[in-house]
Amino acid sequence: MVSFVATPIGNLKDITLRALETLKAADVIFCEDTRHTVKLLNAYEIKKPLYACHKFNETQAAEKIVEAAKRGENVAVVSDAGTPVVSDPGNVVCKILRENGIAYTIIPGACAFVAALVLSALPADRFAFIGFLPDKKSEKKAVLERYKDSDLTLAFHSAPQDVDKDIAAMYEVFGERNAAAVREITKLHEETQTFTLSQGLAGEKRGEYVLVVEGAKQQESPLNALSETEHIRHYMAAGLDKKEALKRAAKDRGVSKSVLYPFAIDL
C-alpha cells in the first residue's frame, strides 16, 4: 500500500496517531528532503530507509514507488510539512500510481491554508486556495485576474521575499480589500496580522506566509433603486415576457421570484 502522510506544519506534536502508525509500518519512506524528514522520525524514534521525492526527480521517484508497491512493500510519501500534493510534490506520483493501477490512500492531518483561514477571521463558508503565485510580474497578474470578480475568500502561499510583491500585485488587480497574513503557524511565534491591500504588510518578513484576502464585493444593480413594479416593467419594456422579467428582477435584488410575484400580477 502507498500512503500519502500529512506531517506537522510546525509543532511536532501535531502529528496524528495514524500517521505515526503508518510511518512505523512503512518499509520505505519517500520525502521531499531527507534531512528535514529525519528530524521528525528521530523525534518519534522511527528508523526507515529514506529516498528523495521532490519537484526535480518526482517522475523517477514515482517509478520507484510503483516498483516497491508491486513488490508488496508499504510505502509512505511525505513532504517537508503539511499535506503532500497541496503546494508540495506528490501530484505526479498520484498520476503515475493511478496509471499503473496502484491503490493509494491519504493519512490526513495538518494543512497550513486551512489553519490560516481560521486565524484570519475572514469569511470561511466559501473559499479558494490559489497556492504560490508565479515569480514573473505579468504571470502573477494574469493569475490574479482570474479571481478578480470572485466573491470567494482567497488563500495564497507566499515566501518571505515575495510577500511585498505579491500584496502589491493583489492591490493592483483587486483594488482595496481586507486581508490577513499568517506566519509560523503552530510554532512559538505564530502571528496573524490584519491589513488592507493598500497599506501592505508592515515589518520585516520572516518565515513562510499564508495570505488570506477577502473576496470581491458584489455590485448592486442600479435597477434596485426602482420600485419592484418598475423594476419588472423595465425588463418587459426591453422585450422580455413577464415570467423572464420577474426572474431577472428577482436575481438583481437577491430574492426569490415569489417575493416579487405580487408586484407583477397587474402588469
CATH of the domain at 60: 3.40.1010.10
User: What is the full per-residue pLDDT of the chain (267 aa) written as tens digits?
Assistant: 999 999 999 999 999 999 999 999 999 999 999 999 999 999 999 999 999 999 999 999 999 999 999 999 999 999 999 999 999 999 999 999 999 999 999 999 999 999 999 999 999 999 999 999 999 999 999 999 999 989 999 999 999 999 999 999 999 999 999 999 999 999 999 999 999 999 999 999 999 999 999 999 876 667 777 788 888 887 877 888 888 877 888 887 778 888 877 887 778
CA angle 175, 181, 182 (to 5 degrees): 155
What is the rounded CA–CA span in Å between residue 246 and residue 100?
Answer: 54
Domain end marker among 87, 107, 127: 107
Decide: helix, strand or coil at residue 155: strand
Burial of 99 (0-12, 13-18, 19+ CB in 10 A): exposed
Structural domain harbouring 13: 2-107
Residue 55 CA to residue 31 CA, distance in Å, equals: 11
Q: What's the domain count of the chain?
A: 3
To the nearest 10°, report the CA torsion of 80, 83, 86, 92.
80
Are 261 and 250 in contact by the 8 Å Cβ rule? The answer is no
Q: What is the pTM of this model?
A: 0.80
Same structural domain, 97 and 32: yes
Domain boundary among 39, 73, 107: 107
Are 9 and 58 in the same domain?
yes
* Same domain membership, residue 63 and residue 82: yes
Give strand pairing partners of 212: 155, 180
